Amino acid sequence: MKESHGQYKIFFHMNLENIISKSIKQNEKPIGFDVFMNFALYHSQFGYYRSKNIILGHQGDFITAPETSDLFGYCIARQCKQVLNGGDILEFGAGSGILASQILFELGRLNSLPNKYYIIELSAYLRHKQKQTIERVLPELIDRIEWLTELPISFSGVVIANEVLDAMPAKRLTFSEGHFVELGVNVDECGFHWQKFHEPYLNTKVSLPLKPENEYTTEVNLQAMAWVSSLYDAITEGTVLLIDYGMDRAEYFHPQRNEGTLRCFYKHKASDNPFCNIGMQDITTSVNFSDIADSAINEGFKISGYCTQAMFLISLGIESYLSEEKDNERRIKLAQQVKQLILPGTMGEVFKVLALSKKQTVKLDGFKEQNLVSRL
């Protein structure tokens, strides 16, 4: 486009790659991977979880447990019923709204509905999707739903975070010349690439392997730890259920896990390259549940339970839903869904459940069959 003074004005489309590149150049040094991940997932306009391009469920980049089977949400509802005591429910990052619908449906069937079901969701697009889902399935309960953008004050009840911690921006560290250093992100004419920071990484809040024998890369998630700490002040009394893929510290830092846990998901294909499809792919790291538990205990939470997703669902009677189903075809279909949720080769062993409590002493039903707190 030619202007009146005869000079050409250059226009270019500002996208996420340009925004991150500009941030690195202004910084005049590499940015931490947690900063890059925050841009890629949560940039207000182009971030993966803020974009209208995100597709959840079987047509999207990944499938969560609630999208696998309604029985997942029904079992969570059973655990909620045990400890609600007239309190409310608060769900973080409710995705398509299907888990909220499952929990409310089952609590209604059990005559244990909460007065309010709060959803903390920063994405306007996902809030719209969640409202659509709940209005379609449970229109009579839509008035109980309240969307928030920050923690409520003096919350009492059950907090649920299903696959939330793994999407919180994490730092990447690599063992180099006798100590861990942060693995940052830099950019040149060829694109984004990894670059080591020079100074040793020192943080007393996390425990790292002392001296890995070979090259070793891993992650630490300070944001997830800080998030758990912030919950304590917001909760007057209640239980927190954290459900995610991850492991305890000993397993997290196993010598053979020397390339870390970083995974990216794009159209159901996994990779370890966060520098492609930026803003269009999910980026995750597995949860170090020992770090999360330590942060929770330091704030004053009690660790009420820790087990595999399989044993949590079995303890809450997921198999009873099969025996109650009279229709043979429906029962076969449910059995396939249960296998996906509890078998070791699928979600059963990879996903864990960590329960935190404040001012509650009841033994949670979800940990009747297994409680691995001692491993944390």
What is the band of 50 on the pLDDT scale with cuts at 50, 70, 90? confident
Between CA 337 and CA 200 the distance in angstroms is: 47
Query: Which is higher by pLDDT, 122 or 363?
Result: 363
Q: How far is CA 336 from the centre of its chain?
A: 25
Give the pLDDT confidence score for residue 258 in this predicted structure: 94
Q: Which of 64-85 are b and which e, b meaning 16 or more Cβ less than 10 Å from the residue's Cβ?
A: bbbbbbbbbbbbbbbbbbbbbe
In a domain, 367, yes or no: yes
CATH code of the domain covering residue 61? 3.40.50.12710
Q: What is the mean pLDDT of residues 254-260?
A: 94
In a domain, 174, yes or no: yes
Q: How many helices (H) and strands (E) does the chain have?
A: 12, 16
pTM of the model: 0.93
- pLDDT more than 90, % of the chain: 80
Amino acid at 347: M
pLDDT digits (tens, 9 = 90+) for 68-82: 899 999 999 999 999
Give the pLDDT confidence score for residue 53 in this predicted structure: 65
In a domain, 219, yes or no: yes
pLDDT digits (tens, 9 = 90+) for 294-304: 999 999 999 99
Q: What is the mean pLDDT of residues 196-215?
A: 89
Tell me if 220 sits within 8 A of 182, measured CB to CB. Answer: no
Residue 188: both structure tokens together: 């040149």
Q: Is the pLDDT of residue 354 over 50?
A: yes
Q: How many CA atoms lie less than 13 Å away from 264 in the CB half-sphere?
A: 16
Residue 97: closest CA among 126, 55, 62, 61: 126
Q: What is the mean pLDDT of residues 332-351?
A: 92
In a domain, 2, yes or no: no
Between CA 263 and CA 166 the distance in angstroms is: 10
In a domain, 9, yes or no: no
Q: What is the mean pLDDT of residues 35-50?
A: 94
In a domain, 8, yes or no: no
End-to-end CA distance of the chain: 63
Between CA 335 and CA 316 the distance in angstroms is: 16
**Which range marks the domain in which residue 109 is found?**
17-375
Number of domains present in the structure of the chain: 1
pLDDT digits (tens, 9 = 90+) for 121-140: 988 889 999 999 999 999 99
In a domain, 239, yes or no: yes
β-strands 269-271, 263-266 pairing: antiparallel
In a domain, 12, yes or no: no
Lowest mean pLDDT among 8-22, 28-42, 196-210: 8-22
Indicate the SS3 state at residue 247. strand
Question: Hey, which residues does 211 pair with through a beta bridge?
Answer: none
What is the band of 57 on the pLDDT scale with cuts at 50, 70, 90? low
Q: Is the pLDDT of residue 1 over 50?
A: no
